[in-house]
Structure 1
């Protein structure tokens, strides 16, 4: 590959220029190999944040990220493949019921998931609350499970888009995480490299989401949909509300328990609604003529869940960890729950030990927040509003301050917000 000077690539973007295909190919490859230093890539990432990228630049950057590693070959899987990616939120356990449900509908779902950081939860952390379950699979195990079970949720292998892993860690400490071209290429490089045939994106909007405004979420969704299509992956996005947590459970084991309730035909209405909305999109993208709501009622999705958990060493019948320390907060007055702010509840769960401040931090399987009331629910003085759970009682006071400020009671119920806000295709 023709060499360039990193400083020239940085200067081009700093001055508002467009990077050429060879420049992009070179800088991504050279950074992955260590030829371009972290401080140089930091400067380029900041220039991209401030100056933006054209659609052609983003497409090429994504292609270069994919080319930095291997691409999984799912041709041995006879079912149509379709995946889902969420941009992350609070109480967002949707992958847990959704993956086995879509598998039970006849598709194969290759879910490469991540861990939580800050106030947003991670799917792998949740599943690791199940005794024996393991997140790391070889490529051979991944494909075999996809063929036999139709559903797999695991960590991305080291060989998949290594440029993204390195760049993501750098963005995290240089205030460049928010750059939409870099978010889109980060997500889509991994999803395209995993080999899925179709992809449904759940782009969160609101206080507990990465994107606080619908306009930013719409831009990110459109960018990712275009990237997917450019790489031959049928892609659609839903913009969904993350102003309040999904469901009533926020944490790890508590979210697994709530997901199993959904698979058993119960669970909170918002979790069921979003699971089915995404399942309908995934089934359609896979070219299947199936009604996911009927499959959910049939119990087949629960069978698929048990097979998926067992295949990765987990015991789906094992009791989940329970926190020894709890504190219940009760309403001080009659009224209606007006707000349950997703960010505040997410930070409270993090302070209880359910999340981590740095990637290497451990998480508590049992810690979390359980909401007894959601926005719009009537409440009487003395009724429980929420419950805090922790392994260590010393964590509760700081979490209590966050959660108490996040939940408000008013004289009248709030207006209902749509959970699915927009569809971008």
Structure 2
């Protein structure tokens, strides 16, 4: 079965199915190697002997399998084995075979990488060796993954792109592995891990890879890390391919940070104390969302831009629950979007988003939203049913707040 991994005739999807069968078989073989070591067989001898296997691909899979057993038995320094295996797998440059070989290497080493406080940390290696191993492996895997698209002909390019998308998790696994290392402190993340990953993302010049890897970074690492490296993340979006959906990257980041703010139950004070008050998170998001609207506004559907502003509003309310000025600035941006578009109140999706945008602040600001001069302007874009929905939500907010309306003008508003 291992010999079948040499094939070039299988599609990436079918090759993955073959890989899974081989993976299960090699897990049994690894256990056998460890049993042999307990009987007195030297792992160094096994490691040497498998290198004489005839075919390259089977030889390297066997080498990785023995290498993992070698590390587990602690007969050799982990960093030496990691370095040796990285050098060995460089010989496979065919995209499909190379990608899966490196994926196998990562999977076999995931639980035995030196990390802070684990049994493999020491003279044989530390978390820095693990970080370097994963980053090098990720860089090569991403390059091979990008090259998969060039294997296709014009007739099957769409199918190949779909299959390539299905294999994205093989590359993303590297980021997940990095985020799971206990020894990756914030300083290491900021100084080493994040810059190296972002460099890999930008340099690859591939839309699918850039979109997916940015999403991986956002989902894998702690919210606290994102808060303190926010400008670095947002600035990187300026260097991505023009076809990358930056809006979705922003929405993912805003949604994740807004949930973090809600869980803290302390709003902006909690988040700002974490970064020493040196960074205005709202200002940063406003700067880059305005940039998207300015540079891409004419090429993006109005509903997509409103979707971005809804995410921004949600983030703002959960992070700065009582800041009317920030809410008003977002409403102002929405007014500019609608003024520069040909939108009508028959655009159902946009109207739903507009209703959502106007009702989000009600939970924390209640009737104070009526003091914002952009609020009624946005309502003017709606048809009657949408206006009624917002008006009912305002009434509910007033009742919930036990607010007494003291003037006829307020009631008229």
TM-score when scaled to structure 2?
0.29
Q: Which one has a larger percent helix, Structure 1 or Structure 2?
A: 2
CA radius of gyration, larger in: 2
The higher-RCO structure (CA 8 Å, 6+ apart) is 1
Q: Which one has a larger percent strand, Structure 1 or Structure 2?
A: 1
TM-score when scaled to structure 1?
0.29
